[in-house]
Amino acid sequence: MKFFGEIVNCGVFEDTPYRKRKTIRIGNQMALFLSFTFFFHFFLFSYFDLTIAKWIVLSSAFFQWLIPILQARKNYILARISNLILDCSVIFVCSLLVGKESHIYLYYYVAICVPLMLFSKKEKLNLSLSFLLLGIFFILDLFVEYNPLVGFNPSYEIQETISYFVLPIGISLIFMFVYYLTNESYLATKKFQSEIGKSNQLNEELQKVNKALDQFVYSASHDLRAPIASVLGLIEIAKNEENIDKLKEYLFLQEKSLLKLDEFIKDILNYSRNTRTELQQETVNFSEIVQGVFSQHQYNKVPVEIEKIKSISQNNSFVTDRKRLEVVLNNLISNAIRYSNPYIENPFVKVEVIVNPSQAIIKVIDNGLGIDNQHLSKVFDMFYRASDRIEGSGLGLYIVKETIEKIKGEVLVESELEKGSCFTLIIPNLKDI
């Protein structure tokens, strides 16, 4: 089997295009198949003592083995054309030698499929010449009464007996080649539909990117300019102010505006990194990550002390993009703290993590201000703010969703106004992906 595999791949090189590889292999497979077919006819004609016919088909059987050699030397067109001419000539001569009642002419119908398998639609000249050659042999064989080799014809009974072998072989070959061509057409159509589907998907993604870019430019320019305009205004006022307390107040307001600007720029950077950087897979410890994010928010300026709770269940290794996971948790915990309810007792933010071999389920729960039901479907949109009570960039939850999708996960939200929110992250273990 290894030997035949090497024969089939003769003429296929590393730089050979996919379509050409396929045609080369088909040519070699056909040469092998026809070789065995000619060998069978050699034994058939030998049995009936048809000397000339048997030596013709035997010579043709051996010639078929030259086709892979020609293709190995990159003589592809020569190999195909010579094979087609030889096959048609053998059919024509054997039909004249053995007689029309043997139905050897039936192999012309098989030969019609050969150019369709060996030449692409772009090779119109080769296809046209092939069909012209077939047509000439077919007309000469079936419609011209003169037969210079009639003296070599066996008896009617022998011709009829030979036809009992030729008919099933010819019909089988026709069905096999037609099936191949039909299957090729089906695969080509399927591939074309797949390419269209990919193209439509790319168009949709491009439209999404363009829409996001338009929205980003509009909103970002406003959100970047607002703090700067505020600081410039405060500086202008401070120039004419001599009261120290007033100046301190202006400095405090400037700091507030600059912190807002800094937060917005950080969000933009996080969004940019998520969009442009590849996944960095590594084994993570959820307890360490959650504790690290909690530590970052230890000194947040909030009216009341917020209890930070973690509940981690991890008994197996888990692989994901650590940095992206930290960005997501940081955004969710930051929101939970920022939108805490200062008028209730024991405000908290709780992170629950349950890890199994295939995925991790992370819940960030708080008893803060909550989100009105009418806003839940839009909270992950770029620059969407569900509340005006607390200032924010409107990018946080959008970054959460985009980042989670990048690590092949999903994010869900449940919330009730004045009761709190629960964000659920479901991320796969990238270890097995």
> What is the secondary structure of 17-65 as a DSSP string?
-HHHHHHHHHHHHHHHHHHHHHHHHHHHHHHTT-HHHHHHHHHHHHHTT
Residue 194, domain member (yes or no): no
First and final CA of the chain: distance in angstroms?
A: 35
Pair (143, 291) in one structural domain: no
Residue 288, domain member (yes or no): yes
Domain CATH code at residue 388: 3.30.565.10
pLDDT at 350 (0 to 100): 94
Report the alpha-carbon distance of residue 271 to residue 395 in Å, rounded: 8
Residue 176, domain member (yes or no): no
Does the pTM surpass 0.75? The reply is no
Task: Give the residues of the chain that fall short of pLDDT 50.
Answer: none
Q: How many domains does the chain have?
A: 2
Question: Which domain-ending residue is among 101, 125, 154?
Answer: 154
Buried b (16+ CB within 10 A) or exposed e, 112-131: bbbbbbbbeeebeebbebbe
CB 341, CB 368: distance < 8 Å? yes
Report the alpha-carbon distance of residue 124 to residue 143 in Å, rounded: 27
CB 12, CB 24: distance < 8 Å? yes
Report the alpha-carbon distance of residue 214 to residue 210 in Å, rounded: 6
Residue 249, domain member (yes or no): no
Nearest to 162 by CA among 64, 89, 63, 94: 94
**Three-state DSSP string of 169-205:** HHHHHHHHHHHHHHHHHHHHHHHHHHHHHHHHHHHHH
Range of the domain at 110: 2-154
pLDDT at 181 (0 to 100): 67
Report the alpha-carbon distance of residue 28 to residue 24 in Å, rounded: 6
Pair (293, 430) in one structural domain: yes
Residue 246, domain member (yes or no): no
Question: Which domain-ending residue is among 120, 138, 154?
Answer: 154
Pair (289, 148) in one structural domain: no
pLDDT at 409 (0 to 100): 92
Question: Which domain-ending residue is among 154, 189, 210?
Answer: 154
pLDDT at 179 (0 to 100): 76
- Residue owning tokens 């080799």: 149
Report the alpha-carbon distance of residue 298 to residue 216 in Å, rounded: 31
Nearest to 422 by CA among 361, 342, 357, 378: 361
Residue 57, domain member (yes or no): yes
Residue 147, domain member (yes or no): yes
Report the alpha-carbon distance of residue 20 to residue 29 in Å, rounded: 14
> Which whole-number Å values give the CA distances from 229 to 5, 257, 268, 397, in the listed order?
74, 9, 19, 26
Residue 248, domain member (yes or no): no
